[in-house]
Amino acid sequence: MLSAHDRFQRGALIDHHMAHTFEAREIGFWWYLLSDAIIFALLFVTYGVMVDRTAGGPDAAALVDLNRAFIETLCLLASSFTFALADLAAEGNDRPRTVAWLAVTTMLGGAFLCIEGLEFIELVLAGAGPDRSGFLSAFFTLVGTHGLHVSVGMIGLLALLAQIRVFGLSRPVKSRLRRLGLFWHFLDVIWVGVFTFVYLAGSL
C-alpha cells in the first residue's frame, strides 16, 4: 500500500515523464516541418524555372483566376485564425468552444479544397492538364502538393474531433492539437507563398 507521499512522488514522476515525451514529440514535429519546408522550397524553385516553359500552351496569365485564389486565401487565413481560437479554448479546458472552433476550421479547410478541386477540374477539361507543358506540370505539382497537405490536415482535424469526443481535453489530446496547429499554420504560410508567386505574380 503506497503512502500519500509515495503516491505524490509517483504522480510527479509520471507528469515529468509525460512532459518530456510531449516535448520530444514536438521537437520531432519541428524537424518534420523543416523537411516539408525544404520540399516546398524545391517545388517553388522548380516552378520558377518552368514558368516560361509553356510549349505553346496557356501561361500563368491565361489560367490564373485571381478572384478565386483570393477567396481561397481568405478561407485558409480564416481557418488559421479559428484554429488559434480552438487552441486557446483548449488551454482554458473549454471543450464546447474547442470543438466548435475546430469544426469551423474543418469547414473552411473543406471550402478551400472544394475551390481548388474545381479549379483543377476546369483546367483539365480545358486541355490545360499537367501533361500539357512543363509549366503546367510544375503548377499542378506545387499547388497540388499543398492541397494534398491540406487534405492530410483535414483528416487530422476529424481524428482530433473524434479523440476529443472520446477522451476529452486530456494532455495527450492537447499535445496532438498543438502539433496539428503548427502544421495548419505552416500550410497557411506556404499558401501565402503560392498565392504571391503563382497567382499574384501570374496575373501581372
CB of 86 within 8 A of CB of 177? yes
CB of 37 within 8 A of CB of 170? no
Q: Determine the pLDDT at residue 64.
A: 84
CB of 101 within 8 A of CB of 71? no
Q: Determine the pLDDT at residue 59.
A: 87
Extract the residue ranges of the chain whose pLDDT is less than 70: 1-20, 22
Q: Determine the pLDDT at residue 37.
A: 95
Q: How far apart are CA 46 and CA 139, in angstroms?
A: 9
CA atoms within 13 A on the CB side of 7: 4
> What's the CA angle centered on 100, arms 183 and 96, to 5 degrees?
115
Q: For residue range 54-83, list pLDDT tens digits in order.
A: 888 888 888 888 999 999 999 999 999 999
Helix (H) or strand (E) holding 76: helix 66-91
CB of 184 within 8 A of CB of 155? no
CB of 26 within 8 A of CB of 175? yes
Q: How far apart are CA 173 and CA 167, in angstroms?
A: 8
- Amino acid code (one letter) for 38: I
Grid cell of 13 as nine digits: 514522476
Q: Determine the pLDDT at residue 154.
A: 95
Q: Determine the pLDDT at residue 26.
A: 76
**pTM as predicted:** 0.87
